[in-house]
């Protein structure tokens, strides 16, 4: 899966935070990164709130999201190069200082970059990906790759590459395998269409469970 960087200009106002959180959830759903949605939304909330509090409401800002290796990178850009976020040892009853402490608690790393006319406050979340265009490790994916390897006589399975040709070849390999399995079911007196419908229902149910954080590994 190719995860192209994206950015969104916004005005730093409290009313904008909920919308930015929804945009983040939607994009991470498209990217298949359901497991880091809560952490990403928290980071967006705190980074934007930091601009509102320390730079000022109404500040023009930009939310930028990209992949850095296997990490999700979240940036909030604003034009004030003087008001730098700091990590405070905020106590439970403290009125301020919690924002970057929360980011520090969930992010693998964070920092601030200064340019001539802007400041970029960023953080990165571990996703479980082995590459920016890879997939999150999943038992179903492992089983599928093992089956594809058997179908290639022990050779490496055809995996989607970064280009359109690589993805097309991989898709055709999977479609061919699924077709063979449907033939096998029919040859043994099973209802292939019913099996396909049931597989789709199982897939949709598991993807829904991943989305709400209740995914459980099936036994092999």
Q: What is the pLDDT of residues 138-196, one digit of tens each?
A: 666 667 666 766 776 655 555 554 445 555 776 777 888 888 888 888 888 889 899 88
* Residue 74 β-bridge partners: 65, 123
* Token representation of residue 150: 């058997």
* Token representation of residue 21: 């959180």
C-alpha dihedral sign at 207, 212, 213, 214: negative
Tokens 């409401």, located at residue: 57
Alpha helices in the chain (DSSP H): 14-31, 37-54, 99-106, 139-151, 164-187, 192-211
Contact 68, 51 (CB under 8 A): no
Contact 124, 71 (CB under 8 A): yes
End-to-end CA distance of the chain: 25
pLDDT score recorded for residue 141? 61
Please count the other Cβ atoms lying within 10 Å of the Cβ belonging to residue 65.
Answer: 21
**Span 64-74, mean pLDDT?**
96
> What's the whole-number average pLDDT of the chain?
81
**Span 4-16, mean pLDDT?**
96
Q: What is the DSSP letter of 79?
A: S
* pLDDT of 215 over the 70 cut: no
* Higher local confidence (pLDDT), 155 or 33: 33
Please indicate, yes or no, whether the overall pTM of this predicted structure exceeds 0.75: no
pLDDT score recorded for residue 83? 81
Phi, psi of 103 (to 5 degrees): -60, -45
pLDDT band at 69 (very low <50, low <70, confident <90, very high): very high
Please state, in angstroms and rounded to a whole number, the distance separating the CA atoms of residues 29 and 41.
Answer: 12
């Amino acid at each position: 899966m190719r995860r192209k960087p994206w950015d969104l200009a916004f005005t730093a106002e409290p009313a904008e935070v909920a919308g930015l959180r929804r945009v983040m959830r939607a994009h991470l759903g498209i990217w298949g990164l359901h497991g880091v949605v809560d952490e990403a939304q928290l980071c967006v909330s705190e980074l934007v709130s930091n601009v509102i509090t320390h730079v000022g409401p109404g500040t023009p800002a930009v939310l930028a999201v990209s992949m850095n290796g296997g990490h999700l990178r979240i940036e909030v850009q604003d034009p004030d190069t003087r008001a730098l976020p700091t990590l405070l040892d905020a106590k439970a009853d403290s009125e301020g200082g919690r924002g970057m402490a929360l980011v520090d608690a969930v992010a693998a790393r964070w920092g601030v970059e200064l340019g001539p006319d802007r400041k970029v406050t960023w953080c990165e979340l571990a996703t479980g990906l082995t590459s920016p265009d890879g997939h999150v490790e999943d038992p179903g994916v492992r089983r599928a790759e093992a089956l594809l390897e058997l179908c290639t006589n022990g050779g490496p399975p055809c995996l989607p590459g970064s280009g359109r040709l690589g993805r097309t070849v991989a898709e055709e390999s999977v479609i061919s395998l699924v077709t063979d399995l449907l033939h096998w079911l029919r040859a043994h007196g099973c209802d292939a269409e019913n099996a396909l419908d049931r597989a789709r229902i199982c897939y949709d149910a598991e993807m829904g469970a991943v989305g709400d954080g209740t995914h459980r590994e099936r036994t092999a």
